[in-house]
Amino acid sequence: MKEAPAAPLLKDGFDAATVRAIAEAVAAAHPGFAADRFTAHCLDGFAALSLMARVHRVAQALHAHLALPFGPAVAVLRQAMGEPGPSRRAPEGITVFRHAPYLQFVAEAGLGEPEAALDALEWMTRHFTGEFAIRPFLQHHLERTLARMQRWCAHPDARVRRLASEGARPLLPWGRRVAQLIAQPALTVPLIDALAGDPDEVVRRSAANHLNDLSRLDAALALEVARRWQARALPDGGRTLQRALRTLVKQGRPEALALLGYAVDAPFVLEEFELDRREVPIGGRLVLCFALRCAPGRGGRACVDYAIGYASGNGRPRRKVFKGTVRELPGGAVQRFAFARDFVVRSTRRLYSGAHRAEVLVNGRVLGALDFELTDGGA
């Protein structure tokens, strides 16, 4: 059997042709730009660089070869980028990363001129998200940057409004950590309070993800904010709160579950819990089957999840909760469930043979657990 061809690497979409296109665009905007020297600078050892390392290399080369004060340099880069398109447009895929070096240039060269730099990011984020480029300004000019982001919450362009939330997330994935945002999570609450009811779904989703970050730092604060949002009857508020409280739901926090309408006090009973096998080879799959019943007159909304307790290399088990389903369980009725979990080795998850455990959770409470063995045998 032929092996499937390997998927192209993300960085391959930001290649030498991308660098040459940037060189041409900047040279057209600034005829004195040494495009050939810039291109040679960028492409030295380029093949070995990761995507973000390529972005940084191009930004550094822009700084070295543009050789202009910050304000005039930004004017050249804006002309090279061209006017941003409408907020709603077809996705460009990896090619949109061609704009990333311009924002990285602002992040590296503009720290000494924060007002001009924030003006530049406000404009450039309409081409490519400024969520990473704004992090150094939050580190070095926190109050000034948060004040600007608060104004962005009322910006007519949804991409700028999204930056006000996404750029200030304390636990932004792949983003530089800003210690003060982690130490004082309440600092960014005014931003997401302003955006939770935004007319744009992408902005609302960012605000919800931001509140989920806060829940991992200060659960009480996140619950307080969530109660405010619930009282405001936000557009699509149920979905927004579901996303915002997902970590607290996985943790089984009854306050979060109750906010989302789950029957946290209903006496759900687990029945007929079984696993389709008690030995699972690495690469194989496990199926959990069970039924749930509730006393007559005592049913309600149930968040039905499951957890796997994995063996680990250091001897301490690690537990992960997986989303199952949400059901309305009428009192006196019995409903059946089946969840499948694969044990395929992935780059983000190492598996160890040995004792494992499967648990059924309803509204955050573990109703039953069964042990099984993960083995080295083939699937």
pLDDT digits (tens, 9 = 90+) for 89-107: 544 555 678 899 999 999 9
Q: What is the mean pLDDT of the chain?
A: 92
Provide the CATH number for the domain around residue 281.
2.60.40.10
Q: Which residues contact 254 (CB under 8 A, 6 or more apart)?
A: 264, 363, 364
Percent of the chain with pLDDT over 70: 94
With a cut of 90, say whether residue 42 has pLDDT above it: yes
Distances (CA, A) of 265 to 102, 169, 307: 54, 34, 21
Identify the pLDDT of residue 3: 35
Torsion of CA 262, 266, 270, 276, to 10 degrees: -10
Distances (CA, A) of 179 to 136, 183, 187: 11, 6, 12
Mapped onto helix, strand or coil, the DSSP state of residue 99 is: helix
Position 331, amino acid: G
The answer to which of 81-90, 258-267, 286-295, 351-360 has the lowest mean pLDDT is 81-90
Q: pLDDT class for 88, splitting at 50, 70, 90?
A: low
Q: Looking up tokens 């077809």, which residue turns up?
A: 90
Domain presence at residue 146:
no
The answer to which of 51-60, 162-171, 243-252, 310-319 has the lowest mean pLDDT is 310-319
Phi/psi of residue 221, nearest 5 degrees: -65, -45
Domain presence at residue 176:
no
What confidence tens digit (pLDDT) does each residue in 237-274 have? 789 999 999 999 989 899 999 999 999 989 999 999 99
Mapped onto helix, strand or coil, the DSSP state of residue 10 is: helix
Domain presence at residue 100:
no
Between the ranges 4-8, 28-32, 96-100, 297-301, where is the mean pLDDT highest? 28-32
Q: Please give the biggest Cα pair distance in the chain.
A: 81
Domain presence at residue 349:
yes
Q: Provide the number of structural domains found in the chain.
A: 1
With a cut of 90, say whether residue 180 has pLDDT above it: yes
Q: Angle at CA 245, nearest 5°, toward 243 and 247?
A: 100
Q: pLDDT class for 40, splitting at 50, 70, 90?
A: very high
Mean pLDDT to the nearest integer, 207-225: 98
Domain presence at residue 117:
no
Identify the pLDDT of residue 298: 83
Domain presence at residue 180:
no
Strands 334-342 and 300-310: unpaired
Q: pLDDT class for 230, splitting at 50, 70, 90?
A: very high
Domain presence at residue 292:
yes
Between 12 and 43, name the one with better pLDDT.
Answer: 43
Domain presence at residue 18:
no
Q: pLDDT class for 33, splitting at 50, 70, 90?
A: very high
Give the residue numbers spanning the domain of 272.
268-375
The answer to which of 26-40, 158-172, 222-236 has the lowest mean pLDDT is 222-236
Q: pLDDT class for 9, splitting at 50, 70, 90?
A: low
Identify the pLDDT of residue 6: 41
Identify the pLDDT of residue 159: 96
Identify the pLDDT of residue 346: 82
Identify the pLDDT of residue 4: 35
Identify the pLDDT of residue 178: 98
Mapped onto helix, strand or coil, the DSSP state of residue 92 is: coil
What confidence tens digit (pLDDT) does each residue in 139-172 have? 999 999 999 999 999 999 999 999 999 999 999 9
The answer to which of 86-95, 204-213, 227-236, 322-331 has the lowest mean pLDDT is 86-95
